[in-house]
Homo-oligomer: A and B are copies of this chain.
C-alpha cells in the first residue's frame, strides 16, 4: 500500500547541508524562488551570523524553519567531555530559540572505546540534563537512530525500536524521534516501529534520500530519491498512517552532488521528490 504521489513542494523541506556549497542566504533565495516550503538549518550554516536575523531572513523568504541540526554526541569517556556535550546542547537550544526552529535533531553519539550500553546510558543522562532547558525554551528534541554502520563513533542508537524505547522511558512531550529512511530502510521491524512511534506521539520528523549500490563513501555518498534501493513512498505511507503530517526533509550528503551546480541539483531534487518520494 503506497502513499499518494506528492504533487507540490509545500511539504518539501531541504537541509542546508544538502546544498552545502551555498551559503544559507543563497539557499534561502533559491529554495524560495523554487517554491520550496521548508528549510532545516545545520548549525555550521549559522557561523558568523546574527541568528535571530537569519531566522527572520528565512521567514521573509517564506521558508518554514523545520528544525536545527544537530545536537547530541553525549557519550564521552571523561565526565568533563559529557558536561561539555550537555553545555553544547544547551547552546543549540539557545540557537534554535533565536532562529525560531521548533525542533533540534539529536545525533546521539558513540565512542569506539566504550561499550554501546554505556554510551546509551550516557545518551539518556545527557538528554535528561538538556530536556528541562529545552522545554523552558519551547524547543523539542528528536532522537535520530543512525544506521548500524555508524555505531562505532556516531550513534549507539541504531534502530527505531531503540529510539522508541528511550523516548518512551523518558516520556516527555518535548522528546521524540526523527525517522530517516537512509538509516532505517533495511529493518524488518520498521513498519511496526513507525506505528508505535506515531501512537506514542513521538514521530517528530521524517528525512528522505536514497541508498546507492554501490555506496562509495560511508558518509557522503547518499543518493537522490529514486537513485537507490529504498522504497521511500512505502515508508512515507507508514509514516503518514502513523499520523505524521509534517515535512518531508531532503537530507543528502554527497561529494558528487556538492561538486555540481547547486541550481541544477535543486531542480533534480524537485523532480525526484515528486517522482519517488
Contacts and interface: CB of A to CB of B under 8 A. Distances in A.
A187 B159 CA distance: 9
Contact of A113 (B186, B188, B211, B229): B229
Interface stretch (A149-157, A237-245, A253-261, A265-273): A149-157
A218 B148 CA distance: 13
A115 B231 contact: yes
Interface string A109-142: 0001101110000000000000000000000000
A2 interface: no
Interface in A131-188: 147-149, 151-153, 158-159, 162, 185-188
Interface residues of A, number: 26
Tell me the number of copies of this protein.
2
Contacts of A213: 112, 152-153
A188 B228 contact: no
A218 B214 CA distance: 10
Contacts of A186: 116, 148, 151, 158
Contacts of A229: 112-113, 152
B162 A188 contact: yes
Nearest to A148: B186
Contact of A148 (B112, B117, B148, B214): B148
A56 interface: no
Contact of A187 (B115, B148, B231): B148
Interface in A2-58: none
A220 interface: no
A229 to B, nearest CB: 4
A192 interface: no
Interface in A216-238: 218, 228-229, 231
Contact of A152 (B149, B187, B211, B231): B211
12 contacts: A112-B229, A115-B231, A116-B188, A147-B148, A148-B148, A148-B186, A151-B186, A152-B211, A152-B228, A153-B214, A158-B186, A162-B188
Please name the 5 residue pairs, one residue from A and one from B, whose CB atoms are nearest each other, closest first: A151-B186, A112-B229, A112-B213, A148-B186, A149-B149
